[in-house]
Structure 1
Amino acid sequence: MKTQMLFAAALAAASGAARAEDASAPPPAAPLPVVTVAPAPVVAPQAIVLPKGTMVRLMVTKEINSRDSKAGDHFTLRVDEDVKVGGLTLIPVGATGWGEVVTAEGTGGVGKKGRINAKLLFVDVGGKRIPVDGERQSAGSNATGAVVYSVLAFGPLGLVMKGGNASLKAGEILNGYTTEDVAFDKPAA
């Protein structure tokens, strides 16, 4: 039993020494709280769409005529009216548009009138080409009646009289229509 008491005393002494060591040591650090950060939500950039079939008013900037033009010639146009969607101007007045001469027939003898056919191609807005569709045909004046009088007055020389040239005059308005939906970045407020 004496051994047991000695053992108990030794145990008590060892436990007291351990407590003394614990008292001199700094207390254990408290565990840090775990913070979970949610990823930032992915926000799609705001866009506004110019729908297919939107009308764009285009003005001819320089006369195009059947005498000077040939098929394949390109010509410039100017947007004549702001195109807005939801109160925002997507195509401003003054933006450049382009057209192409499809056919051009000059005047001919016996009063034949000139003809010109042109189509719209696209509008350029800040480097973005917006395709537009539209076509314009024009014919010059017919001089058949004048040819008859010329033949009566001048004989066969009256047959060389020509009709009028066809033209798209500067300032003439052509209506084009967008051929596809076009997305624009929504401006920051």
Structure 2
Amino acid sequence: MIPAGTAIAVTLSESVDSATARAGDFYRFQTIEQLKVGGRTVLPVHTTGVGIVSDAQPAGPHSRQGSLLLEARYLRLPRGGELQVIVDRKISDLRRKGASPQLPFYTSYLPIPSMGLITKAYDYVRNGKDVVLPKGAVFIVVTIQNTTVYQ
């Protein structure tokens, strides 16, 4: 039996990009280590799992940064069935915001006529950055219920 609350290290099997991902899209991940319970391997290395994109917002004008929220759903058990899991938010950070390179902070304090208009025009046409979680990104999932695994 795999107890509820068991932490399992996994890795993304494909990259996920806020520019192209949409809420409801599925993504795949896999275990990076075997899981043993009582000295017995219950999940081998490379056990596959499935998750869902809960929210994805592409970057946009006005320096709006992209954002991405991924949720894990389950790992496929070796002999059939599913092991329900969730992302461990205390360790993993699969909710990301894009980077934000800005004009230097002091430009808003310069006493130059119309500088504010120039800054606003710059921000209007400049896009923010999208979030890309690369293939191979590591995160932790946690089992949500006790699960019996048959071998």
Classify the TM-score, shorter chain. 0.7 to 0.9
Identity among equivalent positions (%) equals: 23
Contact 1:55 1:175 in 2 (8 A): yes
Instruction: Give secondary structure in 2 for the equivalent of 1:68.
Output: coil
> Per-residue deviation at 1:97?
0.7
Instruction: Show the counterpart of 2:124.
Output: 159
Instruction: Give secondary structure in 1 for the equivalent of 2:63.
Output: coil
Q: Distance in 1 between matches of 2:33 and 2:127?
A: 38
Q: Equivalent residues in 2 for 1:91-170 (5 A)?
A: 91-126=43-78, 127-134=80-87, 136-145=94-103, 155=118, 156=121, 159-170=124-135
> Per-residue deviation at 1:159?
2.2
The one-letter amino acid of 2:2's match is L
> Per-residue deviation at 1:169?
1.4
Match of 1:77 among 20, 23, 29: 29
Q: If the length of structure 1 is used for normalisation, what is the TM-score? A: 0.65
The one-letter amino acid of 2:82's match is R
RMSD of the alignment, in Å? Answer: 2.2
User: Which entry has the higher C-alpha Rg, 1 or 2?
Assistant: 1
Q: Equivalent residues in 2 for 1:20-31 (5 A)?
A: none
Q: Distance in 2 between matches of 1:168 and 1:90?
A: 28
Which 4+ stretches in 1 moved above 2 angstroms? 143-146, 155-159
Q: Say if 1:50 and 1:158 are closer, same or farther in 2 by CA, change over 3 A.
A: closer
> Per-residue deviation at 1:144?
3.4
Q: Distance in 2 between matches of 1:181 and 1:158?
A: 51
Q: Identify the structure with bigger relative contact order (alpha carbons < 8 Å, sequence gap 6+).
A: 2
Contact 1:111 1:143 in 2 (8 A): no
1:85-132, CA deviations, whole angstroms, 9 ceiling, x for partnerless residues? Answer: 011110111110111100001111121110000100000022220000
Instruction: Show the counterpart of 1:54.
Output: 6
Tell me the number of residue pairs that the alignment of Structure 1 and Structure 2 aligns: 135
Structure 1, unaligned stretches of length 5 or more?
Answer: 1-48
Q: Equivalent residues in 2 for 1:10-29 (5 A)?
A: none
Instruction: Give secondary structure in 2 for the equivalent of 1:101.
Output: strand
Q: Distance in 1 between matches of 2:2 and 2:149?
A: 8
More helix by share: 1
Instruction: Show the counterpart of 1:172.
Output: 137
175-184 or 129-138, which deviates more = 129-138
Structure 2, unaligned stretches of length 5 or more?
Answer: 108-114
